[in-house]
Chain A
Amino acid sequence: MVKLDRAASRLVKAVAVILAIACMNFVLIRMAPGDPVAVMAGEAAMTDQAYLDELRERFGLDRPVHEQLLVYLGNVATLDFGTSYRQGRPVADIILERLPATLVLTITAFVISLALGITAGVIAARRPGGWVDTVVSTLALAFYATPLFWVGLMAILLFSLELGWLPAFGMHGATPPAGGFAYTAEVARHLVLPAMTLGLFYTGVYARLTRAQMLEVQSQDFVRTARAKGLTEARVERAHVLRNALLPVVTMAGVQAGHLVGGTILVETVFAWPGIGRLAFNALLQRDYSVLLGVFLVTSTMVVVINLLTDLVYGLIDPRIRFER
């Protein structure tokens, strides 16, 4: 019963957070100078007052802002995300067709960076100061410090232009193989460069975090006890050291997971990946409010959900956390 209560209260809090985010987004976007009507009028090389008025009326921009906010919140409550000013299509459709691309990219990058980062950190911690450690630590620092944009362009220069191994942009060719394995392979080939680029930063972070934590835990008494009991080195490393070293890594992974939907604008731009980060960026440039608000709402909802999941994972790794608070 207590558990259920806590779950319910978490849920109520989450909904309140999302609602507050929706309001804040609305206000923040309206504070940015520029409105969709001016942008569209400029694009149409257009000067006619009737046209401007008609656009404002069609988008409801002629009404006071607080009224627009109320209408917006009402729509959101009924899961109606509105219609894009520019595309004239439902925002929900627009987001749904772009969301999978971003998820594929970011989840791949997430898995790659976790796997590579933790492995590298563990290996480096075996012999601190040895040449493996030096190489891993230097690389990790380099990954951590290099701007994504630059890494992406250099990767394209090397692997696409010079070597011709991998495609430079897009999620698949213009006539992708229909479905099945061939399609998956095509997407995978296109995925390599952007996922690596996106994953590099966190690979560096995880490698450094894991290494530092492993070293710290290794020197603690319970590890010595485990060794004294005659456990194999591999078992000690996995069950005792790594398990205890992972908590800060999980915290960091929660942060990265928060970026799963939103933090990919740069990589999606460099690699022409048809995802949601770019969709939001373009919507911002064009002041397509309804699309932008829709993307914000979807992404912030996902961040809230991911935070809940991260809490659960804490509990799995360290059972003591489950009973706190």
Chain B
Amino acid sequence: MRTLWKQAALSAAATALLALSLPGGASAEDARNGGVLRMIAHPEPPTLMLGLNQQGPTQFVAGKIYEGLLTYGPDLQPRPHLAERWEISEDGLVYTFHLRKDVRWHDGRPFTAKDVVFSATDFLAKVHPRARGHFSRADKIEALDDHTVRMTLKAPFAPFIMGFETSSAPMIPAHIYEGTDYQTNPANQTPIGTGPFKLAEWKRGAFIRLERNADYWQAGKPDLDGLNFVIVPDAASRALAFETGEVDVLRGGDIEYFDVQRLAASDGVTETRAGYEMLSPTMWVQFNLRSAPMDDARFRRAVMHAIDRQFIVDNLWFGFAKPSAGPIASTTPFYDEKALVNYDYDLKKAEALLDEMGLKKGPDGVRATVRFLPLPYGETYIRLGEYIRQQLEQIGIRTETVATDHAGWAKRLGDWDYDLSLNLLYQYGDPSLGVERAYVSTNLVKGSPSANVSGLNDPEVDRLFREAAVATDRDTRASLFSDLQQRISEQAYFGYLIEVQFPTLYRSGIENLVTGATGLNGEMEDVRLPKR
């Protein structure tokens, strides 16, 4: 009896202790499911210092180490992150950011307004090409106190608030980089950020291992113990790595579209196309408008009529795409379907346009010969190039296909040494950020494949983009962008093909994998694996 009482008393005491401890810090830890999420980094990022390199895989991996002031929801609305709130003045000139007070760098030093000012005015302004353009719109960027930053613009720029996600403006620790040569700073090999994960080990050519940042400013997060990125260079091997269960997630572009279709249909696999709202890649036939016959709108319209975009979606992208007809993607703000000219698939119309131009067929059935530069991005893109070549031949345009690797493609495009090419454009959540650069005459920069390489020089287009960028009123912007879409679509300056969709495949049961507009490039502090 005595022992029984003793046991009862003991267990009561234990229960009481347990109950007492529940509301404490340990409970958040206990609620974690933990585990390691395994993904693929392809190709291997050259560095994880996100401020210095904005390649896709760098954004993907280092986006968990570094953070920006804001994140963006699938609706492209800004959400608080390192800045817990912000104000924009009525005239659209002054942006005031209030920073979180409990954020620390991975080395334990506090994150303050000084870091923000250093990043925006010094580090990123020197080495980050997109952020440089963005922050150069500011007249003054200053710290009001340790946790308040004020940015005063030279002129209103409505999409200014869209430029604060991690890869567009990663926050860089001033105490490590101030006064050093950023490119050669040895700290680049051991990145220090504020993010939910820290670099644990990087075995070049094999894997990158990130571990949980236990001092992360969001208490109890991240849920995962770590992230592993294996480096698998071959697309077929990547599909196999997912099938054999050695990785949990396949990103868009990891495998070819025919494998996506197959794997998405298998048991225990979930597919989503969310998470690319910020990028919204559109693909087009790029004309070199400097030379004939591409300088004639009738030729470009003929090309539009000669290509069956639904065929491309159905047979080359297996449904993971949408026909595209204009410069602004349907997932980007200010898209206006009604403003666009409908170039239906009709070879007769195409031939009639070419006849009207006076491009007559020769005895061999050829009207003109052009140099065609397809995108060297893998099987699907090679087939697209073949399809377009075949379609153009049907209306009497012979193409001399120039086979290149990626470096050769970039070089030729940047040097304007092509007639037709294929190209892919990221939109960055606002036409003034991601679309304008391919159209305006102020961006005719030789040597860069991502400038206005087509040579487009239309004062009307320039004017509409210029006015839309500085207008602060949403309706005014919308109407300007509608005019733009109409103008560009009528002139068919680009041969719009498709909005490329990137499907993500993952093991069913993984939660919160894609939560924002930058998808898998996001911080991943909320991702949960099923409890083991």
Measured CB to CB, the residues of A under 8 A from B are 32-39, 41-49, 51-52, 58, 84, 86-89, 94, 97-98, 101, 153, 156-157, 160-161, 164, 167-172, 174-175, 268-275, 278-279, 282, 284-287
**In the assembled complex, which residues on chain B have CB atoms less than 8 Å from the CB atom of A42?**
406, 410, 414, 448-450
Q: Is B205 within 8 A of A38, CB to CB?
A: no
CA distance A157 to B44 in the complex (A): 24
- State whether A38 touches B207 (Cβ < 8 A): no
- Complex Cα–Cα for A273 and B447 (A): 35
Residue B470 at the chain A interface, CB threshold 8 Å = no
Contact B43 A282 (CB under 8 A): yes
**Distance of A98 from chain B, by nearest CB (Å):** 6
Q: How far is the CA of A229 from the CA of B128 in the complex (A)?
A: 83
Residues of A within 8 A of B53 (CB): 43-44, 86
Given A51-B129, A168-B240, A274-B203, A41 and B246 contact (CB-CB distance below 8 Å): no
Contact in complex: A37, B450 (CB < 8 Å): no
The verdict on B389 contacting chain A, using a C-beta distance below 8 Å, is no
CB closest chain-B residue, reference A282: B43
B448 touches A47 (CB 8 A): yes
In the complex, which residues of chain B have a beta carbon less than 8 angstroms from the beta carbon of A168? 237, 240-241, 244, 246
The 8 closest A-B pairs by CB, nearest first: A274-B205, A34-B407, A46-B129, A86-B46, A47-B451, A34-B411, A274-B206, A38-B410
Q: Is B204 an interface residue (CB 8 A)?
A: yes
Chain B nearest CB, measured from A84 CB (Å): 8
Q: State whether B410 touches A39 (Cβ < 8 A).
A: yes
What per-residue 1/0 map shows which CB atoms of B230-244 lie under 8 Å from chain A?
A: 111110110011011
Residues 390-421 of B contacting A (Cβ, < 8 Å): 404-412, 414
State the Cβ distance, A290 to closest chain B Cβ, in Å.
13
Residues from chain B with Cβ under 8 Å of A97 in the complex: 204
Answer whether residue B349 sits at the interface, using C-beta atoms and an 8 A cutoff: no
Cβ contact within 8 Å between B130 and A45: yes
The answer to whether A272 and B230 have CB atoms under 8 Å apart is yes
Does B450 contact A161, Cβ atoms closer than 8 Å?
no
Q: Are A156 and B237 in contact (CB under 8 A)?
A: yes
- Closest CB of chain A to B200's CB: distance in Å? 9
Q: Contact flags (1/0) for B7-45 with A, using CB distance below 8 Å?
A: 000000000000000000000000000001010000110
User: B491 on the interface (CB 8 Å rule)?
Assistant: no
Say yes or no: A39-B407 contact (C-beta < 8 A), given A47-B437, A86-B46: yes
Determine, out of B182-190, B261-269, B473-481, the stretch whose residues face the partner at the interface.
B182-190
Given contacts A45-B54, A285-B406, 14 further A-B contacts (CB under 8 A): A34-B409, A41-B414, A42-B449, A46-B450, A47-B443, A49-B445, A87-B46, A98-B205, A101-B205, A170-B206, A269-B233, A271-B237, A272-B206, A272-B232
Which of A46, A89, A175, A279 has the most chain B CB within a 10 Å cutoff?
A: A46
Chain B residues within 8 Å of A, Cβ to Cβ: 36, 38, 43-44, 46-47, 52-56, 129-130, 132-133, 183-184, 188-189, 203-207, 209, 228, 230-234, 236-237, 240-241, 243-244, 246, 404-412, 414, 426, 437, 443, 445, 447-452
Interchain CA distance A21-B207 in the complex, whole Å = 33
Q: Is the CB–CB distance between A38 and B448 below 8 Å? A: yes
CB of B233 within 8 A of CB of A272, answer yes
> Residues of A contacting B449 with CB < 8 Å?
38, 41-42
When the two chains form their complex, are residues A38 and B407 in contact, meaning their CB atoms are under 8 A apart? Answer: yes
B-chain residues with CB within 8 Å of residue A278 when the two chains form the complex: 205, 233
Among B47, B54, B244, B404, the residue within 8 A (CB) of A87 is B47
Contact residues in A for B56 (Cβ distance below 8 Å) = 43
Distance from A190 Cβ to chain B, minimum over Cβ atoms (Å): 10
CB distance from B434 to the nearest CB of A (A): 8
> Which chain A positions have C-beta within 8 A of B205?
98, 101, 273-275, 278-279
Q: Which residue of A lies closest to B233 (CB)?
A: A269
CB neighbours of B231 from chain A (8 A): 272, 274
Separation of A286 and B407 alpha carbons in the complex (Å): 6
Residue of B nearest to A48 (CB): B129
In the bound complex, what is the Cα–Cα distance between A124 and B188 (angstroms)?
Answer: 58
Give every chain A residue within 8 A of B183 (Cβ-Cβ): 58, 88
- Kindly state the separation between the CA atoms of A35 and B243 in the bound complex, as whole angstroms: 37
Contact status of A174 and B410, CB under 8 A, knowing A51-B129, A168-B244, A272-B233: no
A48-B133, A274-B204 given as contacts; is B410 within 8 A of A41 (CB)?
Answer: yes
Q: Are A45's CB and B426's CB within 8 A?
A: yes
CB distance B450 to A41 under 8 Å?
yes
Q: Which residues of A contact B228 (CB under 8 A)?
A: 174
User: Which residues from A are CB-within-8-Å of B207?
Assistant: 170, 174
Q: Is the CB of B204 within 8 A of A88?
A: no
With the chains together, A30 CA to B240 CA distance in Å?
37
Closest residue to A87 on the B side, CB-wise?
A: B46
- Closest CB-CB distance, A178 to chain B, in whole Å? 12
| Complex contacts, B43 vs chain A, CB 8 Å | 282
By a CB distance below 8 angstroms, the chain B residues around A41 are: 129, 410, 414, 447-450
CB-based contact B450/A89 at 8 Å: no
A89→B445 CA distance, assembly (Å): 30
Central interface residue in B129, B184, B189, B405, by most chain A CB within 10 Å: B129
CB-defined A-B contacts under 8 Å, sample of 29 = A36-B407, A38-B411, A42-B406, A42-B414, A42-B450, A44-B53, A44-B450, A45-B54, A45-B426, A45-B450, A46-B448, A48-B129, A48-B448, A52-B445, A52-B447, A86-B46, A86-B53, A98-B204, A160-B244, A161-B243, A168-B244, A169-B246, A170-B207, A174-B230, A270-B234, A272-B233, A272-B237, A274-B204, A286-B46
